[in-house]
Chain A
């Protein structure tokens, strides 16, 4: 076990190092940082001085090492656009994105699981077929178009829900939350639903497939033979049995949701990390782009590693498989 743990962690560290390398390449080679930071009237002496201070005159390997060292300490430099420490900028916006992702994850489970169970046990009913179709529709419609539609209907026409922003937030230490105020919770609804739609269909399809698989297994047949009620068979035996993969996929998807939140955040002008990133891309604000890449990948890799380790801990058979490179296969 310790050997496996070590190997898995080393693997994750290797992947993070590769990500850091990509981020470093962006930082170093997309546009000359010196040209981007100084104004046009700067003299050659000023340019050279800045080049030395930024360490750009050093060797490539040394520069990369410095970059990684700074990144580990959370020092991503200063944003070109609003001249603030990039780490602070990202830390300030993290709670907004996290709460949005949390709500979307909650919605996807609360809605996706019942729908999945229903379409699995009543697979030939008209409603189940309709739901199946709607689920394909759900993955086919671009989320930004849905978000725009929601704003048009619920904010402009009906005036029920706010069209942008987080509403009132409460500061708990460095964490700002919108969950504690009525306007904050209201503001979460539209973006939360928009972000969760894809996820709902994913959970629904997964639960349906797992349920149908499980229903064919012997222990369900025995349970039915024992004369248990269908309700008990479906929910106490079958559903429970397929929750583990659902939880796993949900965990792994959180990283993707954080990334996908940038579309939702753009549509609803949600002041999270994603909006920060999209604005950084338009302004070619390289430090912010590089930092966002590292932070999101770090969350992503950590979740993957955590899920793998938990699995290995629960089920020793998986250890060998996990080592053979299929760790991330989904």
Chain B
């Protein structure tokens, strides 16, 4: 313990000396302009500095400032080369990547093919929580110092999409710090990469105090031409929404990627603050427990939700415009489709809702044999989707008026998730962004597919359908984009006509920043890309 901390300390001093020198030269070059700092008030801390230690989109999006993948998304979500310069398919199952030369890690080590292979092995290791993010991976090998081949299980059209979120580590650094294997908190070992970082990205981790402040400084040796002018990012997690808003209004933070919807009018009204607002890719739906029995109900012997008339009644009972106007503050986009328009697989003809029809809903419920309704448990999270608390309560009220007796359970994600995963619910609110794939295959394979192998990981309520499963499996090996998309559309159509899910809306996302932030890019994946952000 003492030895280790001593070692860390000396390394830290060394590092800060280095950084000081770097900062000095930087200042000289830029003509002694004052250092530009961006204070980023986030809603929560990232899980760890190790991108492979926890499968969490937000953590990955923050760490993308430090680590990079072979490819990356542009500001408008097109795939472009990053650490790989080009690629080709050698055979339907083998991809060859030409790597960028002259790239250096933050500790000065050169970036080579060995690093890529080591990283791929690490992320796909059996203990890795992120192995699901690269489902098709079979093996990889170096051809020369700057060429890598990746072999996949079968023909797989979405490898590049997956690789946008697989970040590359320095093999030498991993070996030196005994971290070649992914950190498994269950092993009782603290991973070195959990607290330390060494990537190739535009920013370097200078210091980190979890839950309080993490400081990132500009990487002066970044391989790409910087489109930002930020010298320092201070990452400040502020869990309480109102504190975050207060901090932004008083100038203690410059930027937040989670601005509460109810505070947007007040924030926009302030002359020093501007709000960026659009709709996310994430589509919010209600999903059902379609097992043999309800989890918590007065109907014990069967599951009324298996009756399509009951599901349609629930659908028709929702006054989506009232939800949109009030609970979502007029900022969400109502949807009849299960995916957002920007996702390949979307079809405008599917984006039509069943109309709000209270009497129709009551009639359907009576026809299904439940004129007096029935109890069921509705599981929503208090810190999950945008305004989830609000829209769940609103929908529960609407269902009550149609004759149902929803028993709403609202609690933090950490308490609700275990119940959801175990299928201990009757109805859940559910959001799916189809990221990082940006393709309908994501929701199809992970959510809608019946559980089998790596498919249907999120099929918590037994809502699989053999017809949909067959289409998904066919699309998974189809390399012709046009055919693939037709198959996916067909699968989505079955889910829609069966009312397997109730589509709600594409949720709004709102960022807010002080006027000191000159320009930034807000893509619909809701990931801040501060390397595309300039300050005044």
Q: Direct A–B touching in the complex (beta carbon < 8 Å)?
A: yes
13 CB-based A-B contacts, threshold 8 Å: A37-B186, A50-B187, A53-B187, A82-B45, A84-B194, A93-B212, A148-B242, A151-B243, A159-B251, A163-B252, A268-B243, A271-B211, A271-B212
User: Contacting chain A: which of B23-31, B106-114, B232-240, B370-378?
Assistant: B232-240
A137 within 8 A of B: no
Chain A 7-26: CB-based contact to B (< 8 A → 1; otherwise 0): 00000000000000000000
A interface, CB within 8 angstroms of B? 34, 37-40, 42, 46, 50, 53-54, 77-78, 80-85, 89, 92-93, 148, 151, 155-156, 159, 162-166, 266-269, 271, 275-276, 279, 282-284
Question: Is A80 within 8 A of B246, CB to CB?
Answer: no
B191 within 8 A of A: yes
B11 within 8 A of A: no
User: Do A82 and B252 form a contact, CB below 8 Å, given A37-B186, A163-B247?
Assistant: no
B47 within 8 A of A: yes
B190 within 8 A of A: yes
B415 within 8 A of A: yes
Pairs A-B, 9 closest by C-beta atoms: A271-B212, A163-B246, A37-B186, A164-B243, A283-B414, A38-B186, A83-B185, A269-B243, A83-B194
User: Do A155 and B246 form a contact, CB below 8 Å, given A83-B48, A164-B238?
Assistant: yes
Question: Is B252 within 8 A of A165, CB to CB?
Answer: yes
Contacts of B247 in A (CB 8 A): 162-165
B210 within 8 A of A: yes
Name the contact of A164 in the complex, choosing from B45, B252, B414 (C-beta under 8 A).
B252
User: Distance (Å) between the CB of B47 and the closest chain A CB?
Assistant: 7
| Interface residues in B182-217 (C-beta closer than 8 Å to A) | 183, 185-188, 190-191, 194-195, 209-213
Q: Which residue of B lies closest to A160 (CB)?
A: B250
User: Distance (Å) between the CB of A50 and the closest chain B CB?
Assistant: 5
A-B contact count (CB 8 A): 95
Question: Is B195 within 8 A of A269, CB to CB?
Answer: no
* Consensus secondary structure, chain B interface: loop
Name the contact of A85 in the complex, choosing from B45, B190, B415 (C-beta under 8 A).
B190
Question: Is A163 within 8 A of B243, CB to CB?
Answer: yes
Contacts of B242 in A (CB 8 A): 148, 151
B166 within 8 A of A: no
Question: Is B250 within 8 A of A92, CB to CB?
Answer: no
Q: Which residue of B lies closest to A50 (CB)?
A: B186
Question: Is A164 within 8 A of B246, CB to CB?
Answer: yes
Question: Is B240 within 8 A of A269, CB to CB?
Answer: yes
Name the contact of A271 in the complex, choosing from B187, B188, B209, B243 (C-beta under 8 A).
B209
User: Distance (Å) between the CB of B404 and the closest chain A CB?
Assistant: 30
Contacts of A163 in B (CB 8 A): 243, 246-247, 250, 252
Give the docked Cα–Cα distance between A54 and B195 (Å): 23
Give the docked Cα–Cα distance between A275 and B45 (Å): 13
Question: Is B209 within 8 A of A54, CB to CB?
Answer: no
Give the docked Cα–Cα distance between A313 and B15 (Å): 52
Contacts of A268 in B (CB 8 A): 243
Question: Is B188 within 8 A of A54, CB to CB?
Answer: yes
User: Distance (Å) between the CB of A164 and the closest chain B CB?
Assistant: 5
Give the docked Cα–Cα distance between A163 and B211 (Å): 16
Give the docked Cα–Cα distance between A38 and B247 (Å): 37
Contacts of B135 in A (CB 8 A): none
User: Distance (Å) between the CB of B272 and the closest chain A CB?
Assistant: 10
Contacts of B212 in A (CB 8 A): 93, 165-166, 271
Give the docked Cα–Cα distance between A53 and B185 (Å): 13
Q: Which residue of A lies closest to B237 (CB)?
A: A269
Contacts of B191 in A (CB 8 A): 83
Among B185, B213, B239, the one with the most A-chain Cβ atoms within 10 Å of its Cβ is B185
Question: Is B188 within 8 A of A53, CB to CB?
Answer: yes
| Interface residues in B242-276 (C-beta closer than 8 Å to A) | 242-243, 246-247, 249-252
Q: Which residue of A lies closest to B245 (CB)?
A: A156
B53 within 8 A of A: yes
Give the docked Cα–Cα distance between A9 and B412 (Å): 42
Contacts of A162 in B (CB 8 A): 247, 250, 252
User: Do A82 and B246 form a contact, CB below 8 Å, given A53-B188, A89-B210?
Assistant: no
Question: Is B129 within 8 A of A78, CB to CB?
Answer: no
Give the docked Cα–Cα distance between A50 and B246 (Å): 45
